[in-house]
Structure 1
Amino acid sequence: MSRQQITTDVAIIGAGIAGLWLHNRLNQAGYHAVLIENGKIGQGQTLSSQGIIHGGSKYALNGILSKASQVISNMPARWKSCLEGKGEIDLTSVKKLAEHQLLWSKDRLSSKMVSFFASKALSSRMQSVPLQNRPALFQDPAFKGALYQLDEPVLDVPSLLEALVKPFHDRMLAVPKESTYAWQKQGDHLSSLTVDSYEIQAQHFVFTAGEGNEAILNALNISKPAMQRRPLQMLLCKSKQTDKPLPAIYAHSLGSGSKPIATISSHVNKSGEVVWYLGGNIAEQGVGKDKARLIEEAKLLLSDILPWFELPELDWATHPVNRAEPQQSSLSRPDSAFVSSQGNMHICWPTKLALAPDLTDQVFKQLESAKLQAGAHKNPAFQHPQVAETLWDRAF
């Protein structure tokens, strides 16, 4: 079978947030970059995220500014600049679900103490919310806890993907999901990739395929860096009562520990229903649990952390997701975005949605160090990948 040849300066494998951000930046900078996807855009970790542009607040709930909280601290401002049309990528079309996240503690001394210490460590990013500025859910007189506002926006991820896809969609290559990747190397130099009916030649290859990086590294006999998976079992719920929809909430619930008991974000499905998406400690502890058991635990949790709110009858679903990251000791969370360059191959994991710009910075440094030159490329027409369906529209 004859193959079509595609030439480019940089070939990027994997169309999640990391690959899309890098693809935009490279093409805007005058390089030619082709993004290769063997499924739907954002189908993995990206559309499984809650859309939170973290600034490190939840990593400092013990009152200590950890390395992770410091590394990510400037990301909200950087994203906000893009959302206002002043940053490195134009995200003015992206829908903001919330300008700020909230963090609340119940009427218990232990959780109030966590809130207190966090507010001291994060005084510039975390402010107490006065009663008149609170969402209706937290204006109820029965709510006796503390409420803080975090300077971290929440984005609608589908609209984010659309904004990143639109400018250079013609430089995105769709290949069948079952495609086999064949790599051609000359010594330590990767010269081309053969997949489906295409041969892609590039000066550099960047792997941003999330979990898919593992298969790529195995095929290339690269043992380091190794990949780890930190699994979650997220939960989703929506009201069964059309006259009693769930209120929109974007907030972390605090207990006595240094992690949120639960993180709740709200998303509107194509039927116009508000869906709550639950992460945090319940998602971490839910790994491996029977679906019915986890849902029962989630029902009890919501009753416990929102005791003043009368919940409607709910439909429930669970969603397992693996966080793919560079391997750490004891499967701990990496502090920052990760790039490992080996010759003209660059192995990447953003580790967080918010860190996609930081990952791109790291890749640019490697490419500039390698003296990447922009070339002229004229390629045949090819199929382009589409954005995956939202989780809230396929979970129920």
Structure 2
Amino acid sequence: MRAPRVSPVSLGRWASPFALLVIWIVMTALNPRFLSAVNLTNLMLQIVAVGAIAVGVVLVLLIGEIDLSVGAVSGLGASITAVLVMKEGWPAGLAIATGLATGAVVGLIHAAMVTRIGIPSFVVTLAGLLTWQGALLLVLGDTGSVNVTDDGLTAIAGTFLSPVLGWILSIGVAGAALATIVLQVARGDRSRPWEMWRPGLIAAAALGAVAVFNADRGTPLAVVLFLAVLAVFDIVTRRTKLGRHAVAIGSNASAARRAGIPVDRIRMAVFALASVLAVTGGILAASRLLAVNQSSGGTDLMLTAITAAVIGGTSLFGGRGSVWSALLGSLVVGSLANGLDLLGASSAIRSISTGLVLAVAVALDTLARRGELPRRARGPIQVLREPAMRPPMNQRPRTM
């Protein structure tokens, strides 16, 4: 009997979960404290900032573009928020809203340069990286740093839900996930098994995560907020016109424009959302680190966020990916860095390891794209061959 052939697309889809499993097994074997409740809680707190930024990166990659300024924008938005609260005495909520609005304006500026002038997004956001890093220095002033001690800001990463509230939330998530399975079975939709398994995995993950969190300090509020962001943008990308049009633009922008999709408006919205999410990640990082300084939102953060999105399964070529890849990729990158820290590895080893994982992820993405191209090419050819050839003029029947 001939063994079933594994397609490159399927290989790329399951590579990240397999890599995460291998990392967890190896790190646990080398240091049993890796899977302790304390370390897993710290791991989740460490990845929420990168994960939020990676969600924005996923959105930009879906339309076939790139944003190299997300790290600098996250630092700028966090610094504006911290300065308004700590130096100007603004309420935390109003300062956060101002920081997010700044991110939206920055994203619209980038998008305008891409859509109206026609500058490639790589160049625009590279210039933005340098510009917003300079703006960060201006906002921080001569001191170069701002300590965050306001209760409204520190509570974001410093609040842990009670065990009872954590269980209530997890049971609610599990119930909603299992309800989707019931609805799919009731509709008789069993064509895609993964769509049936995913809600079950989400339910099991929610219950298991809360059990681990409650063994430590409780469910972190920052993790709840991050998962809420993931859920919202999952709905946006899969259930709204914005998400469907973004995927269509990433697959073929010219075809999307001919189909009547407002390509420029979608790009404007996506770049604005990506910058807002970058500021969200910056605020989460400031709340956890209790400070904003000149290194906030550095190049390492931008590279880590893009790496997380790609490792999680979002294509660099556009048109394929999911916001949940931001969570999966952040877990892979964060678990690798966390485990190496427990082992006392140097920063050089961490960089080399992350780079190798990224190279493998991009290789799988390239193979997956090669596997998709023949299928995309067959569609139009078949359409062209379907109509029968019209007979010559002299052979057509004459009508009275």
| TM bin (shorter chain) | under 0.3
Greater strand percent: which structure? 1
Give the TM-score normalised by structure 1: 0.25
Greater helix percent: which structure? 2
For CA contacts below 8 A with separation 6 or more, give which structure has more relative contact order.
2
